[in-house]
Amino acid sequence: MADGPIQLTDVQAILKDFRDPESGRSIHDFEQVKNVQLDGDRLSLTLELTSWAAPIWQDVCDALSEKLQAALPGLRSVRIDRRIHARAPQKLGEIGLTAKTVIAVGSGKGGVGKSTIAASLAFALQRAGSRVGLMDSDVYGPSIPHLLGLSGRPMIENNRLTPIFKNGMPVMSMGLLVPKEEAVIWRGPMLHGAVTQFLRDTDWGDLDYLIIDMPPGTGDIALTLSQLLPLTGAVVVCTPQDVALLDAIKAIHMFRKVNIPVLGIVENMSGFVCPDCGKKYDIFGSGGARKQAEESDLPFLGEVPIQLAIREHGDAGTMEANFTDANVAPSFEKIAYRLVKNLAASAAAAPPQPSLPVL
Ligand SMILES: Nc1ncnc2c1ncn2[C@@H]1O[C@H](COP(=O)(O)OP(=O)(O)OP(=O)(O)O)[C@@H](O)[C@H]1O
Ligand SMILES: [Mg+2]
């Protein structure tokens, strides 16, 4: 840039070049920058960002500020105020679901903490400011209603299911429709039907993220999901033990086989944190999933140690309480943050999308 006083046109050139983390389009071209005021060497502006990007809002503002200051060394201060940018609902696939990003949380093995991670991911995204839904696709052994302490039955009106809400988050699960003690015997086509109905006939509203808790093992449900809609991808949960890692590899292959991209690996039960002394013991070892992620060329999204509070809150149906516990919350929040950061990086690398109406 030329020496001398900073011009508004210099600022605009930089804004034009800065991309929205969700759409990958120029924030300037899509009118996401308002109230640009240059007062000598002080700049202030309002940046509108979508609720989808809520977990990384601070990073985006910091990146813009750094970019402006690097390009315009004479700039003494940059103030960025944030506002929500409303975008039109985005239909995903043909089934009428309006969600920007759909993420399946799965593993090759039972009991590794899929439901715990799925629900925590949903809470973390929602607490950051995104609009999130949680769908339990474990039709045989639904555990989301128990972990979240949900009761009540979804109403059916005009052939539409009203989900049950937890802290404003819509949740749907077979456990809400069938009495707990009743064993459900499903055959393949019925399973497909139930998952289809959950996705197609539930009033999810306009979502940024739909998180799907997968049943243990490989197979049917992933195939059904992949046939119903273009999933953004899957998060694979595993424990540090070798055997669980082998199962994780199976899960990665399974998702790839049905064309569901794997977004990353989470290591759950990664060491035990003693509630009395805070010391971490590597009961099953730790770090194996990180190594596996590197070897498989997949992002490692984070680790969650074994913590008594997680098990207790799960049993008591108060999982959201994990987020008011400073020893537990950060590990879940980091996973949500890294996931969104990676998705935004993919959006930035993708060719610009066609324009969408702005509300
Ligand atoms: N990091 C953790 N620390 C302590 N307890 C945990 C942790 N993760 C999960 N648990 C507990 O382990 C049990 C199994 O977790 P969860 O139901 O999430 O596993 P899952 O993989 O979904 O199981 P399934 O294969 O049966 O669906 C639950 O009691 C849960 O509270
Ligand atoms: Mg489960």
Domain boundaries, the chain: 8-84, 91-349
What separation in Å is there between the alpha carbon of 268 and the centre of ligand 1? 9
The protein residue whose alpha carbon is closest to atom 25 in ligand 1 is: 110
What pLDDT sits at residue 3?
Answer: 62
CA of 135 to the centre of ligand 2 (A): 11
pLDDT of residue 112: 93
Burial class (CB in 10 A: 0-12, 13-18, 19+), 342: middle
CA–CA gap between residue 131 and residue 208 (Å, rounded): 5
Q: Which of 76, 197, 87 is nearest to 131 (CA)?
A: 87
Give the CA radius of gyration of the chain. 22
Check: CB of residue 62 under 8 Å from CB of residue 31. no
Q: How far is residue 52 from each of residues 58, 84, 126, 205, 233, measured CA to CA in Å?
A: 13, 10, 10, 14, 16
Q: Any residues with CB less than 8 A from the CB of 265 and at least 6 apart, and which?
A: 235, 236, 237, 238, 248, 289, 290, 292, 293, 296, 298, 299, 300, 301
CA of residue 147 to ligand 1 center, whole Å: 9
Mutate to test the pocket of ligand 1, among 105, 107, 115 (most ligand atoms within 8 A of CB): 115
Model pTM score: 0.94
Helix (H) or strand (E) holding 281: strand 280-281
Q: What is the DSSP letter of 138?
A: -
| CATH fit for domain 91-349, picks 3.40.190.10, 3.40.50.300, 3.40.80.10, 1.10.287.110 | 3.40.50.300
The H-or-E segment that residue 272 falls in is strand 262-273
**Ligand of minimum distance to the alpha carbon of 309:** 1
> Facing residues of 98 across strands?
91
Q: Answer yes or no: are the C-beta atoms of 211 and 138 closer than 8 Å.
A: no
For 318, the token pair is: 């108060």
Residues with Cβ within 8 Å of residue 129, at least 6 apart in sequence: 51, 54, 55, 57
Q: How do the pLDDT tens digits run along the chain, 359 residues long?
A: 556 788 899 999 999 999 999 999 999 887 899 999 999 999 999 999 999 999 999 999 999 999 999 999 989 999 999 999 998 888 888 888 999 999 999 998 899 999 999 999 999 999 999 999 999 999 888 999 999 999 889 998 888 999 999 999 999 999 998 877 766 676 777 778 889 999 999 999 999 999 999 998 757 899 999 999 999 999 999 998 877 788 889 999 999 999 999 999 999 998 888 878 878 888 877 788 888 899 889 999 999 999 999 999 999 999 999 999 999 999 999 999 999 999 999 888 876 555 544 44
Q: What's the CA-to-centroid distance between 275 and ligand 2, angstroms?
A: 25
Instruction: Residue 233: name the closest of 224, 225, 241 by CA.
Output: 225
Give nearest CA residue, ligand 1 atom 12.
113
Given CA atoms 160, 116, 344, 62 in this order, what sign does their dihedral have? Answer: positive
Distance 22 CA to ligand 1 centre (A): 31
At the top level of CATH, the class of 8-84 is alpha beta
- Which atom of ligand 1 is nearest the CA belonging to 117? 18
Q: Give the distance (Å) from ligand 2 centre to CA of residue 286.
A: 22
In this structure, the residues whose C-beta lies within 6 A of any atom of ligand 1 are: 110-116, 138, 141, 143, 216, 268-269, 304, 306-307, 310-311, 314
Mutational test site, ligand 1, from 107, 112, 116, 120, max ligand atoms within 8 Å of CB: 116
Residue whose CA is at the smallest distance from ligand 1 atom 15? 113
pLDDT at 359: 45
